[in-house]
Amino acid sequence: MGLRRLTESQGTLYGFAGECVPIKGTVEIEMVFGEKEAARAIMVLYMVIDAEASYNIIIGRPTLNKLGAIVSTYHLCMKFPVGRKVGSVWADSRIARRCYEDSLKIGISAPTLTVNVLDLDLDPRCVYENERPHPAEDVKDVQIGPSASHVTKVGTTLSHEEETRLDMPGIDPSLMSRSLSVIQGAKPVVQKRRKHGEERRKATKEETNKLLTTGFIREVQYPTWLANVVMVKKSNGWWRMCTDYTNLNKACLKDLYSLPSIDRLVGGVLGYALLSFMDAYSSYNQIQMHPQDEEKTALITEARAFCYKVMPFGLTNTGATYQRLMDKIFKEIIGINIEVYVDVMVVKSTEAIGHCEVLEQVFSILRKH
């Protein structure tokens, strides 16, 4: 057949050992499975690669699903429906044995990647304070959280507009907001308020006041859904306030937007000269809840009930929603200069000398949104 019918396609296949094989193109061929009256013809889209193997083609899951096939490696047989009949494809045990023996003779020729590792401690906290670099301009403290201790240092030459960006207004609802797809006919559940000890009650009050100060929650009087708060003590002695959305999550449809494969992400950063790892701050809370669904997120405390104005942690589909947002924001450079898994970002550069320009591009996109 040659390569004349080959359609250009960009992409990479990843092996079990992490080896990368570029895709040369795709070609669609009509394939006949079975024999005589129990035969079935379907169109199969093949990806063409240049690799040493003891076999010529591999039938993947899309084709097997299209056939409705059931494969038994023990019996070396594949069966599939053909009208009211059952089609069969049997393997030759001698050929299967020869292919296996030939595959053992083929060496894996994965490309050797040379990576220059530069281990830098960007904040060494060493005792030699006089050796640490100092800002080139005067700085001042700017509060970035509800507590007076949540401050960062910024240059005094920042304009008022640049300073207000530190307040993080959140994602524009026209770009992304969170709606709850409650199953039709689902009965709202109001959980009975649970009792907490004095330490937990005090921590709940403090965390609630923080959320009110930042504008993440508001008071609600007549909620149809109501969930309890769950206080979890962290390793540093502080408390994390979570919400038991078990009932609400069961009543919501699942978002089928898939998260990236970890194997693909790891393979996507292999061989790059420099990597920068970043976590989004208050990631989920940057997405606004749809106004009509805010009260469904209601939570009960010791005295009052509140609901979230932003997407809270613990709600179903939060990971898929945030991944969809990141894919939309970085659609032009994802897979090229950045890899994203929910709120974790890895900025990558093929040359260390150009890494600052890549970071500048990423931060420019983040500031835009």
In a domain, 276, yes or no: yes
pTM of the model: 0.57
Note the pLDDT of residue 1: 58
In a domain, 302, yes or no: yes
**Does residue 150 share a domain with residue 229?**
no
**Does residue 346 share a domain with residue 199?**
yes
**SS3 for 242?**
strand
- Average of per-residue pLDDT across 181-208: 90
In a domain, 138, yes or no: yes
**Does residue 358 share a domain with residue 269?**
yes
Q: Which helix (H) or strand (E) holds 325?
A: helix 318-329
| Burial class of residue 298 (count of CB atoms within 10 Å of its CB; 0-12, 13-18, 19+) | buried
**Does residue 209 share a domain with residue 64?**
no
**Does residue 85 share a domain with residue 153?**
no
On the question of pLDDT at 126 being above 70, the answer is: no
Cα 260 from Cα 323, distance rounded (Å) = 9
In a domain, 172, yes or no: no
On the question of pLDDT at 135 being above 80, the answer is: no
Q: For the chain, how many structural domains are there in total?
A: 3
Assign residue 198 the CATH number of its domain: 3.10.10.10
DSSP E strands in 255-333: the ranges are 274-279, 288-289, 299-300, 305-308
Note the pLDDT of residue 105: 74
pLDDT grade for 214, boundaries at 50, 70 and 90: confident
In a domain, 1, yes or no: no
In a domain, 92, yes or no: yes
**Does residue 40 share a domain with residue 155?**
no
Out of 127-141, 225-239, 299-313, 336-350, pick the least confident.
Answer: 127-141
pLDDT per residue as tens digits for the range 8-51: 777 777 766 666 778 888 888 888 998 888 888 989 888 888 87
On the question of pLDDT at 285 being above 70, the answer is: yes
**Does residue 153 share a domain with residue 185?**
no
Residue that terminates a domain, selected from 147, 167, 187: 167
In a domain, 114, yes or no: no
Note the pLDDT of residue 234: 83
Percentage of the chain exceeding pLDDT 90: 30
**Does residue 181 share a domain with residue 55?**
no
**Does residue 214 share a domain with residue 85?**
no
pLDDT per residue as tens digits for the range 237-278: 888 888 999 999 999 999 988 888 888 888 888 888 899 998
Domain span including residue 51: 12-105
**Does residue 256 share a domain with residue 342?**
yes
